[in-house]
């Protein structure tokens, strides 16, 4: 499917997009739009420093590998709340995330963000699609990602997809940390993602969760911050599957294989409950 790109001079205001999200609760079709949005965005050093602090990254001269998701968030929201998009944003479930770092993320001050959706497929609980985000600088492609999203209740013809699982290498504990009850609100302030299921126990219960749960992309960011120096800084693909949500507050334990160009990781909670499984591999 060819993408119909819409170039913009600035990113949209999130307040308007959240209003759209709150007032759209019905599935209106089963076809993804061909529209894509793109915009040049400046990296704000103060905002970057705040993101590093919330996610545990140190100042090393490189953008954190998950930070482009934050640069793209407003455009992603614009796409997922557009009239042509058939599924309500509230209720989408983030199942998996894959990022590819094509070149080192150093000395990056201004980038072009591009977002689109594709690859709608049947799932046992509804339908899944991929939210695709790419980042370019003046030299060309720099970073790209796919987030696999589930919309429950959608009925498509065809066989439901099954998640693939790579072989698991031997893993040892790398570190453990406490995910405090306020981390959802702290991450929301730097990411723009104010989904109620992350903010407090009261707001989470409105959507069927007994307690607030951590943002999936905060979990991935905090994990990669803990693995700084363990993974290559470019020419790498880092893929994770989000298994069970991290209820706040709670302690989590990070396991990983030995440092190198390829490896596996796992984040677990009490009783060895699997929260996230992942791999890192060199780009082919």
Residues 160-171 have a mean pLDDT of 74
The answer to whether the beta carbons of residues 244 and 274 sit under 8 Å apart is yes
Cα dihedral sign, 113-118-123-126:
positive
In the chain, CATH 3.10.129.10 sits at: 1-163, 166-284
Q: Is there a contact between 139 and 119 (Cβ–Cβ < 8 Å)?
A: no
What is the pLDDT, as a whole number, of residue 159?
A: 76
CA distance 191 to 217: 9
The predicted pLDDT at position 169 comes to 83
Retrieve residue 92's tokens. Answer: 């989408």
Output the pLDDT for position 53. Answer: 98
| Torsion of Cα atoms, 213 then 214 then 216 then 220, to 10° | -150
Task: Using pLDDT thresholds of 50, 70 and 90, give the confidence band for residue 166.
Answer: low
The four Cα atoms 3, 6, 11, 14 give a dihedral, to 10 degrees, of -70
The answer to whether residue 164 scores a pLDDT higher than 70 is no
pLDDT at 148 over 70: yes
What values do phi and psi take at 239, rounded to 5? -120, 140
CATH number for region 1-163:
3.10.129.10
Residue 195: the pLDDT is: 92
Whole-number mean pLDDT of the chain? 94
Give the integer Cα–Cα distance in Å for 19 and 151. 20
Q: Quote the pTM value.
A: 0.94
Is pLDDT of 160 > 90? Answer: no
Of the pLDDT bands very low, low, confident and very high (cuts 50, 70, 90), residue 167 is: low
Task: Using the predicted structure, report yes or no on whether residue 144 has a pLDDT greater than 90.
Answer: yes
Cα 63–Cα 184–Cα 45 angle in degrees, nearest 5:
25
Res. 165 pLDDT band, cuts 50 70 90: low
Q: What is the mean pLDDT of residues 160-165?
A: 69
Annotation: CATH topology of 166-284: Thiol Ester Dehydrase; Chain A (3.10.129)
């Amino acid at each position: 499917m060819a993408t119909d790109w819409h170039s913009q001079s600035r990113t949209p205001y999130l307040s308007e997009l959240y209003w759209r999200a709150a007032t759209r609760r019905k599935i209106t079709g089963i076809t993804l739009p061909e529209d894509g949005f793109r915009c040049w965005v400046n990296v704000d050093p103060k905002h970057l420093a705040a993101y590093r602090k919330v996610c545990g990254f140190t100042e090393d001269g490189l953008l954190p590998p998950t930070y482009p998701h934050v640069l793209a968030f407003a455009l992603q929201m614009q796409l997922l709340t557009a009239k042509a998009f058939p599924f309500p944003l509230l209720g989408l479930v983030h199942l998996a995330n894959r990022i590819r770092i094509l070149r080192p993320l150093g000395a990056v001050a201004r980038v072009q963000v591009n977002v689109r959706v594709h690859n709608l497929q049947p799932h046992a609980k509804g339908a899944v699609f991929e939210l695709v985000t790419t980042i370019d600088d003046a030299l060309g492609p720099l970073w790209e990602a796919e987030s696999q999203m589930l919309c429950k209740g959608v009925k498509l013809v065809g066989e439901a997809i099954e998640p693939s699982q790579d072989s698991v290498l031997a893993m040892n504990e790398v570190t453990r940390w406490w995910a405090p009850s306020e981390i959802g609100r702290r991450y929301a302030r730097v990411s723009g993602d104010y989904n109620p299921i992350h903010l407090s126990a009261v707001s989470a219960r409105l959507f069927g969760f007994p307690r607030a749960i951590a943002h999936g992309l905060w979990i991935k960011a905090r994990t990669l911050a803990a693995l700084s120096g363990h993974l290559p800084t470019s020419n790498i693909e880092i893929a994770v599957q989000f298994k069970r949500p991290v209820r706040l507050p709670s302690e989590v334990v990070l396991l990983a294989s030995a440092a190198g160009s390829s490896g596996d990781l796992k984040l677990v909670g009490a009783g060895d409950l699997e929260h996230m499984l992942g791999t890192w591999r060199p780009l082919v």
